[in-house]
Structure formats: structure tokens, C-alpha cells
């Protein structure tokens, strides 16, 4: 990439804008995911409302069936009471019948003859005999009617009991259906809560991305401003040194001319070279840098899909698993230009290596170097474990933009 004459990156602002555009694209994707989850949440709400309405209808039906069962129970009790009354009446009639049978048995045919011969005449005797027959026939009809009534009551009670049994079976089925629907509604509510939770996580991630984008923009602008000030200061120093050097060369030239005019041998004038800006060798360490901390890779570089939320996220660096308190080492020589807490990164330390390269070390529990300190490769600069986290976040940036650290770190 083209640089200015003073070593400042000419396209750092463009790189920063590209990075911010990438974050904005991630925000747009997250917002699309939020919209999808919102649509799913509304659909689930409609399903839950339909299920709840069906449950209400079933509850109403169950109430009707319960009332029917209660009415049947009252009717059964009335029939039972009537049955007892008829049974008592039947017992009374049976008692009378037994007494009369006893009397008839004792009298045998004498009673009949007494009635026959005690009559005033044949007509009266015949009338008395017919009267006694009607009485006996009436008693038999009454007994037969009572027995028939009792059978009818028994049949009615059995029918009512069977109907009550059937109604209770229907009621049990309805209760089971309601329990099943309630379970389905509970499940849908859990799904609805999960979708709401996912939406909240996506919303928080969107807010975090926006805040990181804003904070990153502020940090990069400050770094660029400091770099411009440094380059401008260096430019003025070089211009002043160039003027002084030109003045010295002119003075030496005039002195040589004066000596030459006196016949003296001119002194050999040796011009001094321009001051070249120091150039580091970080750019030649691709695939050779040591790891800042030992541990497995927990989060890779670039865009990936979250295994639990099934949402896309973008990482500008990598996260390396490390126990709390593990030493974090500088991967190359440089100057610490940032060492303090930074929103979204915990305790953050940034090392400037020259040639537009910076390395970032985040999620540190404790920073061991301060801004302005010089560090060498392998120096312990911090300790891991910010807020109890078991990982260290690491970035490599070139002219403000993130690059894949795995292409620069040595193979393990």
C-alpha cells in the first residue's frame, strides 16, 4: 500500500471505514435475524391463543358435563328414595297378605261356608262371595302393581347408574384432553419465552456491536490523530535538521573556497545522509509469531454461526482459552500505546510495532505495563481472567484494519 513521505498510512481512514462498514453489515444481519425471530414469535403467539381458546371451550364443556352428572345424581337419589318408599309400602302389603293368608288357612273352607250360610238368601250369599273374591283379586293386583313398580324403579336406577358411569367416562376423557392441551400450551409458552430470550440476546448483541463500532471509531480516530501529530512533529524535526545540514554544508563550502583562494588544499567535505525513519521487521514475521497465551482456540476469526442461537456473529480476532491468572506475553517488540479498561474488551492493552502494525490483548484481569512502556517479544504484559473469564482475546491490526491472527502466529 502507498505511504506518504513521512511514513503515515495514506489509507488508514479508508481501512477504518471499511471495518466500520463490516460492523454495520453485521448489525444489519443481526437486525434481519431479530425480524425473523419477531415473526416466529408472533406466529407462536397466535398458536398459543388458539390453543388457549380451545382449552376454554373444553373447560366450558366439562362444566356442562359436570352439571349433567350432578343432575343425574340428584335424580338417582330421588329414584332411590321413591324405591325405598315403594319397598316399604310393598312390605306393608305383604304383611297384610300374610295375615290374611293365615286367617284363610285357619278358617280353611269354614269361613267361606260361614259367609255362604250366614247370608240372608242365595242372592246375598252369592253377593258376599263375589265381594270377597273382588277383595282378594284387588289385593293381588295391588301386589302385582307394587312388584311391577319396584322392577321399574330398579331398572331406572340401573339405567341411571350406567348413564352416570358413561358420563364420568366422558368427563375423564375431556379432562385428559384438557391436560394434553395445557401441556401443549405450556410447551408453546416455553418456546415463546425461548424466542423472546433469543430476541433479547440478538438485541443485546446489536447494541454491543453498535457500541463497539462507536468506541472503535473513537479509538481509531484518536490513534490516527496522535499518529498525524507524531508524523507532523517528525516532519518538522526533519525539515529543521535538513535546514541545519544545508547551512552547515554551505558554511563548509565557503570555508573551502576561502582556503582554496589562499592556496590551501581543500578539505574533503563529507555530506551527511538524510535521516531515515526507523523501520521494524514485524511484517516479516508472518507465520512465526509466538502465541500470547497457551490454550485452545475458543472463537475463531471472521464470520461464524453461533452454535446455540443459530445466529451469525463476526469476530475481529480470536479468543484463546486460558485459566484465570495465566501470563499474557507480547508477541513482538514494540511500544505500549494503550493500557486501560475499554468497553466491550475488559482490560485492553495495545502494542504498536511499526509499519502500521498493532496487536491487541483483551479480557485481562490485570495489566502489567503502562502506556509508553517498551516491550520485547515474550515479555509478560498482563494476566488473564477478567471477571472470571477463562480466555484471552487477541487481535492483529494493520493500518487500522483487523487481519487473521492465525496466519501470523506459529503453528502448534
Strand, helix or coil at 59? helix
Mean pLDDT of 112-122: 61
Choose among 391, 352, 356: nearest CA to 369: 352
User: How far, in Å, CA of 350 to CA of 336, rounded?
Assistant: 6
In sequence order, what DSSP letters do the residues of 132-200 get, joined into one string? HHHHHHHHHHHHHHHHHHHHHHHHHHHHHHHHHHHHHHHHHHHHHHHHHHHHHHHHHHHHHHHHHHHHH
In sequence order, what DSSP letters do the residues of 195-260 get, joined into one string? HHHHHHHHHHHHHHHHHHHHHHHHHHHHHHHHHHHHHHHHHHHHHHHHHHHHHHHHHHHHHHHHHH
Non-local CB neighbours of 45 within 8 Å, separated by 6+ positions: 192
pLDDT for residue 3: 43
pLDDT tier, 117 (very low <50, low <70, confident <90, very high otherwise): low
pLDDT for residue 23: 82
pLDDT tier, 267 (very low <50, low <70, confident <90, very high otherwise): very low
CB count within 10 Å of CB 362 equals: 22
Choose among 199, 200, 212, 194: nearest CA to 26: 212
Strands 374-375 and 391-398, how do they pair? Answer: unpaired
Average pLDDT, the chain: 78
pLDDT tier, 161 (very low <50, low <70, confident <90, very high otherwise): confident
In sequence order, what DSSP letters do the residues of 283-342 get, joined into one string? GG-TTTBPPSS-S-EEE-SEEEE-TTT--EEEESSEEEE--TT-EEE-SS-EEEEEEEEE
Highest mean pLDDT among 38-47, 103-112, 335-344: 335-344
pLDDT for residue 154: 83
Q: Could you identify the residue written with the cell 433479547?
A: 200
Domains recognised in the chain with CATH numbers: 44-198 (1.10.287), 288-412 (2.70.70.10)
pTM, whole model, 2 decimals? 0.41
User: How far, in Å, CA of 268 to CA of 411, rounded?
Assistant: 55
Choose among 5, 54, 15: nearest CA to 184: 54
Amino acid at each position: 500500500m502507498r505511504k506518504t513521505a513521512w511514513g503515515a498510512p495514506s489509507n488508514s481512514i479508508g481501512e477504518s471505514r471499511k471495518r466500520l462498514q463490516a460492523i454495520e453489515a453485521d448489525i444489519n444481519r443481526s437486525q434481519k435475524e431479530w425480524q425473523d425471530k419477531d415473526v416466529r414469535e408472533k406466529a407462536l403467539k397466535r398458536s398459543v391463543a388458539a390453543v388457549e381458546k380451545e382449552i376454554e371451550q373444553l373447560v366450558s364443556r366439562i362444566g356442562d358435563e359436570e352439571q349433567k352428572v350432578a343432575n343425574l345424581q340428584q335424580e338417582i337419589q330421588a329414584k332411590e328414595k321413591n324405591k325405598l318408599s315403594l319397598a316399604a309400602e310393598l312390605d306393608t302389603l305383604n304383611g297384610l297378605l300374610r295375615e290374611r293368608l293365615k286367617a284363610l288357612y285357619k278358617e280353611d273352607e269354614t269361613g267361606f261356608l260361614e259367609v255362604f250360610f250366614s247370608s240372608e238368601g242365595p242372592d246375598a250369599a252369592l253377593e258376599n262371595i263375589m265381594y270377597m273374591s273382588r277383595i282378594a283379586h284387588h289385593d293381588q293386583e295391588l301386589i302385582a302393581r307394587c312388584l311391577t313398580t319396584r322392577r321399574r324403579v330398579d331398572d331406572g336406577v340401573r339405567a341411571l347408574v350406567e348413564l352416570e358411569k358413561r358420563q364420568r367416562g366422558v368427563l375423564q376423557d375431556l379432562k385428559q384432553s384438557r391436560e394434553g392441551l395445557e401441556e401443549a400450551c405450556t410447551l408453546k409458552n416455553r418456546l415463546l419465552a425461548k424466542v423472546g430470550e433469543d430476541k433479547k440476546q440478538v438485541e443485546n448483541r446489536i447494541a454491543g456491536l453498535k457500541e463497539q463500532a462507536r468506541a472503535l471509531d473513537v479509538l481509531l480516530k484518536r490513534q490516527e490523530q496522535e499518529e498525524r501529530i507524531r508524523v507532523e512533529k517528525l516532519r518538522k524535526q526533519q525539515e529543521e535538521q535538513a535546514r541545519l545540514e544545508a547551512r552547515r554544508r554551505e558554511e563548509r563550502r565557503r570555508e573551502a573556497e576561502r582556503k582554496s583562494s589562499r592556496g590551501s588544499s581543500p578539505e574533503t567535505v563529507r555530506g551527511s545522509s538524510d535521516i531515515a525513519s526507523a523501520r521494524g521487521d514485524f511484517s516479516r514475521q508472518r507465520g512465526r509469531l509466538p502465541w500470547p497465551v497457551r490454550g485452545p482456540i475458543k472463537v475463531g476469526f471472521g464470520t461464524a454461526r453461533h452454535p446455540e442461537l443459530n445466529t451469525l456473529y463476526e469476530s475481529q480476532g480470536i479468543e484463546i482459552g486460558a485459566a484465570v491468572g495465566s501470563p499474557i506475553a507480547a508477541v513482538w517488540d514494540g511500544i505500549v500505546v494503550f493500557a486501560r479498561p475499554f468497553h466491550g474488551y475488559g482490560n485492553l492493552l495495545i502494542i504498536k510495532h511499526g509499519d502500521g502494525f498493532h496487536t491487541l490483548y483483551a479480557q485481562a484481569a490485570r495489566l502489567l505495563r503502562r502506556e509508553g512502556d517498551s516491550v520485547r517479544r515474550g515479555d509478560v504484559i498482563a494476566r488473564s481472567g477478567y471477571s472470571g473469564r477463562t480466555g484471552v482475546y487477541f487481535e492483529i491490526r494493520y493500518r487500522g484494519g483487523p487481519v487473521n491472527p492465525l496466519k501470523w502466529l506459529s503453528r502448534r
